[in-house]
């Protein structure tokens, strides 16, 4: 393992500033907080030895792409992804309404395909344009448009959707 002399402070400050954003993006991609945290940790561990070179360009864009690639690798290896839904009779305290709404959004997102989740996350969470999304995911702009349309239709038609998903995803 190579030593990252002089880049430790830069790396640490980047992770402190962008870590939560990376975990949130990974959670949107995976549908599970624990898997998302593990994925971010794996990506950051791989990036650390080359941090000085990465920090010169756009490290967030690099790590965002690395997250997408790592998630795709997980999917291809068909690692088990928990999809159990909590029982409907759980009583949520009043102060947890926001958490329950967020969980509902994540459950709905789990029903999308991997590509659809990626496009929705890039377009509505990362607020990327269609061309930026296409570049980040390595697909054509037309594919971004059709996938976005299909994903949003699925989200609108989902029986669990009772809130404005576009606002909730931001």
The model's confidence at residue 146, banded by pLDDT at 50, 70 and 90, is very high
pLDDT at 1: 44
Architecture of domain 8-77: Orthogonal Bundle (1.10)
Size of the chain in residues = 170
10-15's contacts with Cβ under 8 Å and 24+ in sequence apart are: 10/51, 10/52, 10/55, 11/48, 11/51, 11/55, 14/55, 14/59, 15/44
Residue 5 has pLDDT above 60, yes or no: no
pLDDT at 103: 80
Architecture of domain 94-169: Orthogonal Bundle (1.10)
pLDDT at 166: 46
pLDDT at 96: 59
Mean pLDDT of the 144-148 span: 96
CA-CA distance, 111 to 68, in Å (whole number)?
A: 18
Tell whether pTM > 0.95. Answer: no
Q: Compute CA distances 34 → 12, 24, 37, 117, whole Å.
A: 21, 11, 5, 17
Mean pLDDT of the 68-96 span: 67
Higher pLDDT, 117 or 1: 117
pLDDT at 26: 92
Q: What are the extents of the domains in the chain? A: 8-77, 94-169
Cα atoms in the 13 Å half-sphere on the side-chain side of 104: 18
Higher pLDDT, 9 or 64: 64
pLDDT at 57: 85
Mean pLDDT of the 62-78 span: 84
The percentage of residues in the chain with a pLDDT greater than 90, rounded to a whole number, is: 45
pLDDT at 2: 47
- Ordered alpha helix ranges (H), the chain: 8-30, 33-47, 51-55, 59-77, 97-110, 114-120, 130-137, 141-157, 165-169
């Amino acid at each position: 393992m190579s030593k990252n002399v002089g880049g430790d402070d830069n790396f640490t400050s980047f992770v402190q500033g962008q870590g939560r954003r990376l975990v949130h993006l990974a959670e949107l991609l995976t549908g599970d907080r624990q898997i998302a945290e593990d994925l971010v940790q794996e990506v950051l561990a791989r990036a650390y030895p080359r941090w000085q070179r990465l920090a010169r360009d756009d490290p967030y864009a690099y790590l965002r792409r690395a997250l997408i690639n790592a998630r795709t690798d997980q999917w291809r290896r068909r690692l088990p992804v928990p999809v159990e839904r909590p029982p409907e009779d759980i009583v949520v305290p009043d102060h947890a309404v926001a958490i329950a709404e967020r969980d509902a959004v994540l459950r709905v997102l789990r029903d999308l395909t991997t590509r659809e989740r990626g496009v929705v996350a890039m377009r509505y969470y990362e607020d990327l344009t269609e061309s930026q999304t296409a570049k980040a995911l390595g697909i054509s702009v037309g594919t971004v448009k059709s996938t976005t349309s299909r994903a949003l239709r699925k989200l609108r038609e989902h029986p669990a959707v009772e809130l404005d998903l576009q606002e909730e995803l931001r």
